[in-house]
Amino acid sequence: MHIDVISIVPELLESPLQHSMMKRAQEKGLLTVDVHHLRKWAVNEYGQVDDYQYGGGAGMVMMCEPLTKAIEELSQSRRFNEIIYLTPDGNTFNQKTANRLSLKENLLLICGHYKGIDQRIRDNFVTMEISVGDYVLSGGEIAAAILVDAVGRLLPGVLNDETSALTDSFQDDLLAPPVYTRPVDFRGWKVPDILMSGDHKKIEDWRHEQSMQRTKERRPDLLDE
Ligand code: ADE
């Protein structure tokens, strides 16, 4: 998978992509992420990419021209399956969307700042608008990093058996069950006996029951779906 990202603060994406699973995915050649500085397509030598909003009001808006040039230039090297704008008023990101996006070849992510991007870019280029939650971040980069991580780890070959996504929370609309490791007794806090029984069927049933209980308590909305 190839992911291009357009940003005015590319540094914000460096660390999340250079460690752990995302590092592994890129080293294995399963994922390529290219972050492009929007200022490369600025409207003047001062690096301007934003301007005041029509109609008045506080806050700048990211201009059509630099974004259009960026999108059109990048589209010459790749046919994007989705052009995604990260924005708090987008559709809320979830595991289903991550699964769906992990099947695509080329994604283009646009990170907004200030009051956001000119609506005409959304109307004419953007194919998906995604929010990572009901709160406002100072820019789209951290949201883009969340999307890249959630999607990147699902690419075949990134996770091994031990880290398999099949047992993740949300994969079957259930939260994951509790997990334990050594020691079996820590300060009198004991690991449930069933996990040491060696009876795989019983353990699997117990885990499923725990998942159900946890989901009922914390996320009943998932069961309604
Ligand atoms: N940009 C600012 N806040 C955001 C959010 N919650 N999701 C996606 N992009 C954003």
pLDDT at 162: 60
Measured in Å, residue 8 CA sits from the centre of ligand 1 at 15
What residue's CA is closest to ligand 1, atom 7?
131
Mean pLDDT value of segment 90-109: 97
Question: What whole-number distance in Å separates Cα of residue 133 and Cα of residue 146?
Answer: 11
pLDDT at 163: 65
What residue's CA is closest to ligand 1, atom 2?
137
With a 6 A CB cut-off, is 84 part of the ligand 1 pocket? no
Burial of 154 (0-12, 13-18, 19+ CB in 10 A): buried
pLDDT tens digits for range 131-157:
999 999 999 999 999 999 999 999 999
With a 6 A CB cut-off, is 143 part of the ligand 1 pocket? yes
pLDDT at 86: 98
What single-letter DSSP state applies at residue 117?
A: B
- Residue 182 banded pLDDT, cuts 50, 70, 90: very high
DSSP 99-116: HHHTT-SEEEEEE--TT-
Domain ranges of the chain: 2-152, 169-224
Q: Which of 131, 134, 138 to mutate to test the pocket of ligand 1 (most atoms within 8 A of CB)?
A: 131
Burial track 32-54 (b if 16+ CB lie within 10 A, e otherwise): ebebbbbeebbeeeeeebbeeee
Q: Is the pLDDT of residue 130 over 80?
A: yes
pLDDT at 114: 85
**Within 13 Å and on the Cβ side, how many CA atoms surround 205?**
7
pLDDT tens digits for range 50-99:
999 999 999 999 999 999 999 999 999 999 999 999 999 999 999 999 99
Fold for the domain defined by 2-152: Alpha/beta knot (3.40.1280)
- Residue 34 banded pLDDT, cuts 50, 70, 90: very high
Residue 11: Cβ within 10 Å count? 10
pLDDT at 88: 97
Q: Encoding tokens for residue 152? A: 């990147």
Measured in Å, residue 139 CA sits from the centre of ligand 1 at 7
Backbone angles phi, psi at 95, to 5 degrees: -65, -35
Residues 6+ apart with CB under 8 A from 151: 1, 3, 98, 101, 102, 107
Amino acid at 184: V
User: Taking a C-beta distance cutoff of 8 angstroms, is the pair 17, 33 a contact?
Assistant: yes
pLDDT at 100: 97
pLDDT at 51: 97
The class (CATH top level) of 169-224 is: mainly alpha
Question: What whole-number distance in Å separates Cα of residue 148 and Cα of residue 17?
Answer: 8
- Which segments of 103-215 are extended strands (E)? 106-111, 128-131, 185-186, 189-190
Question: What whole-number distance in Å separates Cα of residue 154 and Cα of residue 168?
Answer: 11
Q: Which atom of ligand 1 is nearest to the CA of 140?
A: 1
Q: Is the pLDDT of residue 128 over 80?
A: yes
With a 6 A CB cut-off, is 87 part of the ligand 1 pocket? yes
Mean pLDDT value of segment 177-191: 97
What single-letter DSSP state applies at residue 166?
A: G
- The 8 Å CB, 24+ separation contacts for 12-17 are 12/139, 12/141, 12/142, 12/145, 13/141, 13/144, 13/145, 13/148, 16/142, 16/145, 16/148, 16/149, 17/145, 17/148
pLDDT at 221: 95
